[in-house]
Chains A and B, each alone.
Chain A
Amino acid sequence: MNYSVAVFASVALLLLLAMGWLALSGVRRRPHFARNECPELECLHISHLRQIKQALANTDFMYLKDQGYPSLAKRIRKERRRIAFSYLACLRAEFENLLSLARMIAVMSPNVAVAQEVQGLRLNLEFMYRYYLIYFRLVSGVAPLEAIGELGNLVSGLTIRMETAMSELGERAVLGIEILPHNGGGLDAGG
């Protein structure tokens, strides 16, 4: 009896919290793309991938250490870690922009395939899980900084594909994006 009561009461409270969150959380902004504007132009960090990889390379760091500048090497390591965090955050933003574009296409389509959408959601969750794994390993200092560059390569590839996809949408997509409200979405949008 007590077990059942605890389960049902907890579920009810969780549902109440979820409802509160859905109703009251801040406006979730839809990333909007202006006419003839490609997603990657909003955030140019992928185009700086080469420089980022250079900054994260281990050679400079090793050189300074060998030359007897441990304090400088330490400072540089700290700086590089900061760069890695900023870069990771930006990659995530770009990834989310691309995903949002995929959702917008689904919203504007008369038919939506359940399998495709479920797969998209699952992949998104996987990405988030791995992103946070990398993030916390960076925080704890055990993450390989070169790997950030690899992550950048992946998103860069996706961006190029998305650019091609966007050009396929043509004028109809542009029209659709203009029709859809730009003042954000979600349940708070009406407020």
Chain B
Amino acid sequence: MWAASFVVQLALCGILIIFGHFRRLPFFTAYVCLNLFQALFLYLIYQYYGGYSQVAFLAGWWSEAITLLARLFATVEILRLVLISYRGIWGLAWRLLAVTSVVTLICVTVASWGDARQALMRADRGYHLIFTAALISCLALIRYYFIRVDNAYKGLLIGFCFYSCIKILLNTVLYTFLYQQHSPYASVWQVLALSPYLIVLIFWGAVLLHPLPSMQAQQAVLPASVYGRISPQINLQLQAINKQLMNFWKIEGPQP
């Protein structure tokens, strides 16, 4: 499984370079390369120090933190590419990402408070939860404004989202029901964590075999003053409608 994921990651790197996607997606390319190096690095560490050594533990978690940071940058890069033509909505999306992340962070901290031995697992789970919640909020915003998302970018974002959801489930369910019973946790974890990742890598590879969409010019053709004038008017009208609807039941109905 590990070898298969290494080969697929290598192939994905090749696709990114051969098709020239690394120019448009430098952070995503860096993320894939970092994952590749992480796999190689950990393989060497495990071979030299053993899989259950303190060195392996530290190397594993530190390298994971770096790749998680890279994943964050890669996602923001893709979202920026999707919304680059919509300056106003991009500004809105940035704020939404920030607010969702902070709110989820607070919730995760409250819900995970307690056992210090599980801190790393909970931090990892918390990261994926914040990441997924922010990403889905952003995707919902994009949908709300009828913004077209190219298949390539859509595929990359869905891949990130899917893998994070699986990681949350694994960190929660598998850790609780396998780790505490001293089952072969590590080997089961490897299979269950690597399989979805492998699927995502293959999916990304298939998506990136096609050319990326050309960059579009700014589609905000209206002057800022038009929005500033019309938007409050519309909201006032909507507010009036809702106020009227609140009085809806005060109107006398027909006699039966």
Interface on A for B, CB 8 Å cutoff? 1, 4-5, 7-9, 11-13, 15-16, 18-19, 22-23, 28, 30, 58, 61-62, 95, 98-100, 102-114, 116-117, 119-121, 123-124, 126-127, 130, 134, 142-147, 150-151, 153-155, 157-158, 161-162, 165, 168-169, 172-173, 175-176, 179-181, 184-187, 189-191
Contact = CB atoms under 8 A, between A and B. Distances in A.
Nearest to A155: B241
A22 B237 contact: no
A144 B254 contact: yes
Contacts of B226: 105, 109, 168-169, 172-173
Contacts of B112: 4
B225 to A, nearest CB: 9
B52 interface: no
Interface stretch (B4-12, B72-80, B128-136, B184-192): B128-136
Contacts of A15: 129, 132-133, 136, 161, 165, 168
Interface stretch (B15-23, B42-50, B54-62, B214-222): B214-222
B232 A30 contact: no
> Chain B's interface: helix, strand, loop or mixed, by majority?
helix
Nearest to B147: A185
13 contacts: A12-B172, A15-B161, A16-B165, A105-B231, A107-B89, A108-B222, A109-B222, A123-B242, A147-B253, A151-B248, A179-B219, A184-B146, A185-B145
A90 to B, nearest CB: 16
A15 B222 CA distance: 35
B148 A105 contact: no
Interface residues of B, number: 72
Contacts of B253: 142-147
B235 interface: yes
